[in-house]
Amino acid sequence: NAGVMQNPRHLVRRRGQEARLRCSPMKGHSHVYWYRQLPEEGLKFMVYLQKENIIDESGMPKERFSAEFPKEGPSILRIQQVVRGDSAAYFCASSPLAGTDEQFFGPGTRLTVL
Amino acid sequence: GENVEQHPSTLSVQEGDSAVIKCTYSDSASNYFPWYKQELGKGPQLIIDIRSNVGEKKDQRIAVTLNKTAKHFSLHITETQPEDSAVYFCAGGSGGGADGLTFGKGTHLIIQP
């Protein structure tokens, strides 16, 4: 029973490029959450999605960041025109059907912006 | 919004001793409080959680207590072992999967042999 999968595990981009981070939730989970972790910091909530719906994006920066969770395929966190401040670890979590609180995290994608 | 404070930021204990990490939260609507363990280079791993209708929960060497009136909850690890060394995060949420969790800044637990 595979856990939450994220790829790539490490991503290097130059300033101004685009970064695409992918997350496949655990089998049977239809809720996906994205978090960002800066060095020596806790995780900060970014966005919560269900299939084909963004439920809560209150933690997402208003510009350059977007997220989707299509009917088929993984959830994608997209960062356009990356800047050095975007360098962080990005974690995806999934949870089972609505009404359950447990969130299970993937291994993360470590983004480095040069 | 919710604010979760976690103390201490670093905790060093002798192997075999107990470790206690404390968190406070601000939003009285929060009713779900998980604890995560994060090892270097890995994602957070859920180790125990508690809901607001319960005051204490135990799983082998790990226990969590919750005081709703005071808005604080604690993680207790007994008989600590070297493999317990990691960063531990507390978090709070309003439950029902309706929103994201608010995390504390983490406690670096060091088990001294």
The sign one gets for the Cα dihedral A28, A48, A21, B34 is negative
CB contact under 8 A, A45 and B98: no
Residues 6+ apart with CB under 8 A from A59: A44, A45, A46, A47, B100
- Candidates A42, A107, A99, A95; CA nearest to B23 is A42
* pLDDT tens across the length of chain B (113 residues): 789 999 999 999 999 999 999 999 999 889 999 999 999 989 999 999 999 888 999 999 999 999 999 999 999 999 999 999 999 999 998 765 556 899 999 999 999 99
pLDDT higher than 80, residue A40: no
The structure tokens listed for A80 are: 């356009």
Which whole-number Å values give the CA distances from B109 to A96, B19, B38, B47, B80, in the listed order? 30, 8, 10, 15, 10
Helix (H, G, I), strand (E, B) or coil at A47: strand
Residue A45 token pair:
């909530």
Given a contact cutoff of 8 angstroms between Cβ atoms, the answer to whether A109 and A8 are in contact is yes
pLDDT of A99 strictly over 80:
no
* Per-residue model confidence (pLDDT) at position A28: 85
- From the list B4, B49, B104, the residue facing A102 with the nearest CB is B49
Check if A48 contacts B (Cβ < 8 Å).
Answer: yes
At residue A101 the predicted structure's pLDDT band, cuts being 50, 70 and 90, is: confident
User: Which residue in chain B has the smallest CA separation from A60?
Assistant: B100
Closest-CA residue of A relative to B40 is A107
* The two structure tokens encoding residue B17: 């001793």
Give how far A111 is from chain B: nearest CA, Å: 13
Looking at residues A73-86, what average pLDDT do you find?
A: 97
Question: What is the average pLDDT score of chain A?
Answer: 92
| Integer angstrom CA distances of residue A93 from A3, A60, A73, A104, B42 | 10, 15, 16, 5, 13
The pairing of strands B72-77 and B19-25 is antiparallel
Say whether A105 sits in a helix, a strand or coil.
Answer: strand
pLDDT value for B96: 57
Q: Which residues of B touch A45 (CB under 8 A)?
A: 99-102
